[in-house]
Amino acid sequence: MNQMDNNRSYAGTNVPSFESSRIAQPIGTALDRFIKNNQDQFQYASGELSQLLRDIALASKVVNREVNKAGLIDLMGGVGAQNSAGDEQQKLDVLANIRFTRALAKGGEVCALISEESDSFVDLNNKGHYVIAIDPLDGSSNIDVNVSIGTIFSVYRRKTAVGEPIHDTDILQKGADQVAAGYVLYGSSTMLVYTTGHGVNGFTYEPTLGEYFLSHPQMKIPAEGRIYSINEGAANSFSEALKAYLQSCKDSEYTARYVGSLVADFHRNLLKGGIYIYPATRKDPEGKLRLLYECNALAFIAEQAGGKASSGTARILDIVPNRLHQRIPFFVGSASMVELATKGMDF
């Protein structure tokens, strides 16, 4: 079929034919196949990390099903308790934590799991080579209002020998030591985006087939963007340097977009170019977001996509955590925007 056939005009309008539209293009590689095809890129390739990624994908499908049904069955609202970070726990927070923990415990590849929902790390299986840090359901205050939420995960190789007790050196690793990281976005469609240090690839979930397919190969964040994402309700306690940066965004008539779900805000900026900021505030002098299971994963993905992530004074991936639920100010997104936003920071 030639190009003219492909772009037949209907009733005088130049409507592309079905054959030439994106709809008619073949669905990308299935996630399982993609993981298998790329297993050799990984220096410790034994299939364990691949299996771990499959376990995460499987648990995310279960969580996706529950998120979609939340309004129909009694899955909305809080459980009347707070998690380790002091946030109000939602029913779906608890459920998602159970789903991911079970999937990872069954797999056997993970020795220790750090979760936003648990006070201390969970000892899963001393034979596993990997430590995982996870926020099972990020943005959970958006559940009840049907706004996008996500799962964020970081994977580390354990430092102690297999069989030895888990040590702080396994748990408190800096972001640069991650061997894989990713997120799942439960949005208008569900997407899994991950990196193993060889670029960033995005997969869209096809619910009728129950499978993720490669839809966004080798994602790159535009170096320059025009979107800024920050909760300006706390502006009175921002540093003068940050206030000046935000004023420059307004002077340039940038677009302000803030969902209040880190994964959703990050994902939009990754695709379109932009910056997400959660700074130190009077209420949260160390910032609100958690280094181990929120910032590190997104920092790794941002850098792999050509972007940057900073605390305002340091590269996120260089920060050695001093405790499990450590918080950190977070600037992430298009490289030039992060550079400008963090210039002369006085935290």
Catalytic residue annotation: 87, 93, 116-117, 135, 137-138, 294
Indicate the Cα dihedral angle 272, 274, 276, 277, nearest 10°. -170
Confirm if 144 and 76 have CB atoms less than 8 A apart. Answer: yes
Contact 131, 155 (CB under 8 A): yes
| Least distance from ligand AFP to the Cβ atom of residue 327, Å | 10
CB 277 → ligand AFP: shortest distance, Å? 10
Choose between 127 and 323: whose C-beta lies nearer to ligand AFP: 323
CB of 88 to ligand AFP, least distance (A): 7
Cα–Cα nearest to 190, from 25, 67, 305, 27: 67
Q: Which helix (H) or strand (E) holds 64?
A: helix 48-69
Length of the chain equals: 347
> Which spans of this chain sit near ligand AFP (rule: CB under 6 A)?
87, 138-141, 231, 260-262, 265, 288-289
Closer by beta carbon to ligand AFP, 8 or else 323: 323
What does R_g of the chain's alpha carbons equal in angstroms? 21
Residue 148 beta carbon to ligand AFP: minimum distance, rounded to whole angstroms: 10
Structure tokens at 129: 């080579």
Of 171 and 259, the one with the shorter C-beta distance to ligand AFP is 259
Residue 51, token pair as written in the block: 């299996």
Contact 196, 180 (CB under 8 A): yes
For residue 263, give the 3-state DSSP assignment. helix
State which residue, 49 or 328, has the beta carbon closest to ligand AFP. 328
Output 41 or 146, the one with its CB closest to ligand AFP.
146
In the complex, minimum distance from the CB of residue 87 to ligand AFP, in angstroms, rounded to a whole number: 5
